[in-house]
Chains A and B, each alone.
Chain A
């Protein structure tokens, strides 16, 4: 396993030179900047004030755009490496497939995780400068959620890129996965709900199996169920499961799912033609 660190390190070096990385860092950094300019920290809306509100908006936007960013950049670079025969050359050296696959995954993880976390902390520091208390609980929970979000979508991205050989198909599939998780599942469930033939509990369970839904609920799990913005579903879940269980679920379930996809991807990487 001695080359795993080497592969990860070189992948990070490569990413730091890539355009996508700068766009990525710029989007999350810019997002924070935008929030400050728009004065979110100064307003009081629906019971949220200052820094908490800033962090909440940040995590909600992150939940929407981080997945598609991770999916597209990862799939593009891995499928691209295969199509342009970079993979063929790099794997003609005595590096084991295990070292190569997990090294790449680790390197990728670092490059997608750190810009978002840094943006989060910059936001916190800035917000504190304007007065107010350090929201430790939120910072900790949101860091864990971002960690889980990165793990899940990197796992899915690696799975897609090892399974699908063609660049275009892999990109299309990534986009489909994203939009299905983001919107289609909800629309379908709302449809089911309106027909009144299935119990609400079943629908809620199905909804919570969608990891993006878990993130959404997780993001507001710290708040008081009385807050109107939370809505009836979250209210119901908070009431039945409680804060702690909901938070654990929102973090652990996606991480687990991400690891399963990454393992499946590794299995396909080993068992199928590399090129």
Chain B
């Protein structure tokens, strides 16, 4: 089976510090990875490298078989990403949805329906700038967008920080009800919360993968 993520001996230095120090990680389709580790361990840096934001200083990365730098858009077509904090996007909700529909081919109606499943009514907020939504609403919309894309790989960088417990439950339920094969990287500091969702736990510290266990 072809891996969805194949990182080999990845090195990334920021100002002389090895933030990723010889990281190797293979993720197969269907794997649900909980990624944990203390602040500054390099988790965000690793997923950003997978998405082609960073030029790594050593090693190789393949996502869905493509190099994230050389074939950036081929990689991104297969990946849904939710960032650590909702970005203050100044586009209105409807403009943002247009951007996503046109760039990914995801129909807006599917995003709207997905948001409804999270009890977020987008229609009444269509003309508001995204950054003026409440923290929880932003997060729900980002989740709805990510899930509606039906990607083969989901990358979540602590996506539930702004959600109330009920919304968190919704999200976990929707995530586990996706009816096709996909892989997930779920960065979290509260691994007990996503217990049912993950089948593998990868622990990072000081830029290295220090533990990798099947749950």
Contacts and interface: CB of A to CB of B under 8 A. Distances in A.
A245 interface: no
Nearest to B88: A84
A96 B74 CA distance: 10
Interface string B22-59: 00000000000000000000000000100111110000
Nearest to A13: B95
Question: Max chain B CB contacts within 10 Å: which of A13, A94, A96?
Answer: A94
B57 to A, nearest CB: 11
A24 to B, nearest CB: 16
A interface SS class: loop
Contacts of A272: 55
Contacts of A10: 91, 95, 98-99
B87 interface: yes
Contacts, number: 76
Contact of A93 (B74, B84, B87, B100): B100
A93 B83 CA distance: 12
A264 B192 CA distance: 48
> Interface extent on B, as a size class?
20 to 34
A94 B103 contact: yes
B14 to A, nearest CB: 9
A94 B79 CA distance: 9
A17 B98 CA distance: 17
A92 B59 CA distance: 22
Nearest to B49: A273
Contacts of A3: 102-103
A17 B94 CA distance: 14
B187 interface: no
A40 B51 CA distance: 58
B53 A275 contact: yes
Contacts of B90: 14, 17-18, 86
B102 A94 contact: no
> Interface extent on A, as a size class?
20 to 34
Contacts of B72: 94, 96-97
Interface string B173-200: 0000000000000000000000000000
A86 B53 CA distance: 13
A275 B103 contact: no
A6 B98 CA distance: 9
A118 interface: no
Interface in A157-204: none
A94 B149 CA distance: 12
Interface in A236-275: 271-275
B103 A95 contact: yes
A134 B109 CA distance: 53
Contacts of A89: 81, 83, 87, 89
A86 B55 contact: no
A2 B73 CA distance: 13
27 contacts: A2-B102, A3-B102, A6-B98, A10-B91, A10-B98, A13-B92, A14-B91, A14-B95, A17-B129, A85-B83, A88-B48, A88-B83, A89-B81, A89-B83, A90-B87, A90-B89, A91-B53, A92-B51, A93-B76, A93-B104, A94-B73, A94-B74, A95-B73, A96-B72, A273-B55, A274-B52, A274-B54
Interface of A: 2-3, 6, 10, 13-14, 17-18, 84-86, 88-97, 271-275
Given A17-B90, A94-B77, 6 more contacts: A10-B95, A10-B99, A93-B104, A94-B103, A95-B103, A275-B53
